[in-house]
Amino acid sequence: MAGGFVRAWRPSCCWRHSVLQVPLRAEKILPRCPPKCPCSGQVPPGCGEKTLAKVRKIRAGWFHSLALLEDGSLRAWGFNHDRQTEIPKNLPPVADITAGAAQTMVLLTNGDVRVWGSDDCGLVSTGNKLRGIKAIASGANHCIALGKDGIHLWGQNCFGQTSRPGIEGEVVAVFAGENTTGVILAQPESAPQP
């Protein structure tokens, strides 16, 4: 990402990501910092003396956002009702990030997974046991990880998003939507013959 500066906004007290504040009915973006959010007590990153820069990747959950910086460190902000923006102290370097409704999941450079925030349906307790992982993704209340030993699915399963389908072929990537889960295969599965 060239530049790597974050500029985003949300017109509410619990801004998702806010370096700029946008009034509901304004046509112009006002370059000012909002006061502390009454819901979380946080001030958005980029306000004051420092700017959120050297950003490699950014992800948004329902009411919180994450930024992975070039040096492998992490920044989080937004609504913090399940502690999803509280980055653990001494967190090792991060390789990838993803956010769900109220959970934060990171893939460390050593292949371990760390999850914090809502533990509904075992999101945190299950995810923190994973090692040797290559890729991660989060839906609203479910997670998927691709490891050397295959895919790992956990969390809410109201729509079958954590059911394990029969997958033939090499999985090279994983993705998730609010209530969906998917994989990308190296080669397409063979079509059934009539």
The yes or no reply on domain 55-185 and CATH 2.130.10.30 is yes
The pLDDT of 85-109, averaged and rounded, is: 96
Delimit the domains of the chain by residue range.
55-185
pLDDT tens digits, one per residue of 35-88? 555 555 565 554 443 456 788 999 999 888 899 999 999 988 888 889 999 999
pLDDT at 30 over 50: no
Residues 6+ positions from 181 with CB-CB distance below 8 Å: 137, 139, 142, 144, 153, 161, 162, 174, 175
